[in-house]
Amino acid sequence: MVHTSSFDVFDTVLTRSVGSPESTFLLLGKQLQGRSLISCTAEAFARIRRDAEQRAFANGGGLDSSVNLHQIYEEVGFVLQLTAAEQMQLLEAELALERSLLQPVPEAQELLKAARARGEQILFVSDMYVGTEFVQEMLQRHGLAQTGDRIYVSCDYAQSKQSQRLYGLMLQQEGLAPREVTHCGNNAWADVKMAHRSGLRTHHFDQGNLNRYEEILEAHAWETEGLSSALAGASRLARLSRPAASDHERALRDVAASVAAPFLVGFTLWVLKRAKKLGLKRLYFLARDGQVLLAIARRLIKKLDFDCELHYLYGSRQAWLLPSLTQLNEESLANIFPVDVDVDLLSVRVLLARFQLQPEEIADCLLDLGLSPSDWDRQLTPTEHRALRHQFLNPGPVQDQVLAKAAAARHLLKTYLQDVGVLSGQPMGLIDLGTGATLFHALSALCANEKIRPPHGFYLGLRQGVKASRFGMPEVYLQDQRRNLGFTDAQGLVTMLETFCSADHGSVIGYRQVSKPSELGQVSRVEPIFTEPQNQRVLDWGYDVVRETIYAVADRLLLNPELLNPEATVCGACLDLFNVFWNHPTRAESI
């Protein structure tokens, strides 16, 4: 006996680049409005189209009827007072949009391939208002249907899966007993319960359904003018395109696709939007968070009408704060030698390392403060901390050594910045996924020292206590706690984003001059020094899965301005999904 496999079509073997069919109507409305084919807004059209479908089935006899897209657009035309020709224009526009949005589900492709390898007959069964011809066209376009496969679409037979009748007709037409068929589909009612009631074996294949985070993005489709729905669709396509080898890998993939990627893509879109408006010619994404952000930006900028150079900038507090010191006073010392302890362990050795000093270099001064070599690696007391800080603020051998170290470090940093174009004088932006603006101010000071216009800064936010400087403040995406503006602070958000944006290299701790061979002989250049060449801990955690999944979201994201608004803000949507992730993680996500 030859077994038969039947497959549902939409959200089983084919899915869309947006979250839900209703969002397709929103995108269609924007397209029709832009082409002056409707006189209402995109949002109004989407509701008219949705309601027209409901009325068409109500007036035409319900789901077990021959209602198709023509009847639906007759209802649309009735409301919008359209001629038959105008109705047909809108109908054809919807079909064209569907063609552009539909994508194959990779795992379903494998299920089909396996069934064919077993010699099984393949059937496709769909409750849909577009007929067999269109469904067959889409299946064949994506290599899902072959000659000999048969297709059953509800509107062509006036019977549906929802009522079981389409299953009965299929069995009758094929001359099959129910137990000879295994039906695979995403809908728990139509594809599982009704198929089971009809006597078919069932396979509930729901990978094409939106997950809980994608549903949150989809729920914000209207206020984001379609952008969050496109993010939901891109998230779904990204996770569907990457099989997971374990529960841990699956959790990483899904959170990367559905939580981290929407936030990072939204932030990067905002940066590109602002940079375009400001006329910036170069954007520098600061290490280490910037490695992932730069890769996202390179993918997104191809889809936007914006020409701008994108670069990765190796830097860190440790690498930049010392070179930014041209004098030692309370203001210049505030970030590199804070009044309050800003790390778990602040020993003599740890503190001096910020100035590229070893305790042995100022051993006599340390002894004068009562700090012998046995004291160099323990926690400083507040009194000792203040006494040592006093040595930095007052003229003397300590201050002289610090300023000499700063000058040497500044020369190396200046050479590096010249090599990468930061000091070219072109309008530029600095992107940092932080909230302290420390590096923005450090680079601004260095630029000012070279008579170069400081960068325009783009930050995730600004936290309380960040002080303004003569260089101004960076723009912020999410919140400015200094002014009590923006979106509510979400506990754990910065930690989560920094984790998912970890670079594959260690922290930058400085720069060095190196000489390397080239076709023209030895070439001298400045390169960064890392704490370690590879960030092995992050790589072992599963960083490759995270990074490639995030990139897949950016690759698959629909940004056609004819269909949606690429400049819409998705902050609210992303905060909603992050709060669900942070406060109600699944067991796999919390491990």
The span from the CA of 478 to the CA of 485, in Å, is 9
Tokens of 231: 């993010």
CA atoms within 13 A on the CB side of 66: 2
Chain position carrying tokens 């189209």: 49
Tokens of 328: 């030692």
Instruction: Give the number of other CB atoms < 10 A from CB of residue 236.
Output: 30
Sign for the CA dihedral angle at 172, 177, 180, 184 comes to positive
Judged on CB neighbours under 10 Å (0-12, 13-18, 19+), 279 is exposed
Give pTM, 2 decimals: 0.91
Closest CA relative to residue 555, chosen from 305, 306, 303: 303
CATH code for the structural domain at 4-209: 3.40.50.1000
Task: State residue 583's pLDDT score.
Answer: 93
Tokens of 63: 């789901």
Closest CA relative to residue 429, chosen from 474, 483, 393: 474
Element (DSSP H or E) covering residue 485? strand 485-486
Task: State residue 465's pLDDT score.
Answer: 86
Task: State residue 206's pLDDT score.
Answer: 96
For residues 397 and 328, the answer to whether their CB atoms sit within 8 Å is no
For residues 60 and 67, the answer to whether their CB atoms sit within 8 Å is yes
Backbone angles phi, psi at 508, to 5 degrees: -85, 125
Count helices and strands in the chain by DSSP H and E runs: 26, 15
User: What's the N-to-C CA distance of the chain in angstroms?
Assistant: 47
Cα–Cα distance list, 5 to 117, 125, 131, 139 (Å): 12, 10, 21, 16
Closest CA relative to residue 210, chosen from 183, 187, 244, 184: 187
Q: What is the DSSP pairing of strand 4-7 with strand 181-185?
A: parallel
Judged on CB neighbours under 10 Å (0-12, 13-18, 19+), 166 is buried
The span from the CA of 433 to the CA of 245, in Å, is 31
Task: State residue 231's pLDDT score.
Answer: 99
Q: Which residues pair with 524 in a beta bridge?
A: 515
Task: State residue 111's pLDDT score.
Answer: 97
CA atoms within 13 A on the CB side of 12: 25
Residue 505, classed as helix, strand or coil, is coil
Task: State residue 340's pLDDT score.
Answer: 58
Tens of pLDDT along the chain (591 residues) come to 569 999 999 999 999 999 999 999 999 999 999 999 999 999 999 999 999 999 999 999 999 999 999 999 999 999 999 999 999 999 999 999 999 999 999 999 999 999 999 999 999 999 999 999 999 999 999 999 999 999 999 999 999 999 999 999 999 999 999 999 999 999 999 999 999 999 999 999 999 999 999 999 999 999 999 999 999 999 999 999 999 989 999 999 999 999 999 999 999 999 999 999 999 999 999 999 999 999 999 999 999 989 999 999 999 988 998 888 888 887 777 767 665 545 567 899 988 888 889 999 999 999 989 999 999 999 999 899 888 888 888 888 888 998 999 999 999 999 999 999 999 989 999 999 999 998 999 899 889 888 999 999 999 999 998 888 888 899 999 999 999 999 977 888 988 898 899 899 999 999 999 988 877 777 889 999 999 988 888 888 888 999 999 999 999 999 999 999 999 999 999 999 999 999 999 988 886
Residue type present at position 235? S
Element (DSSP H or E) covering residue 440? helix 438-449
Closest CA relative to residue 234, chosen from 180, 303, 332: 303
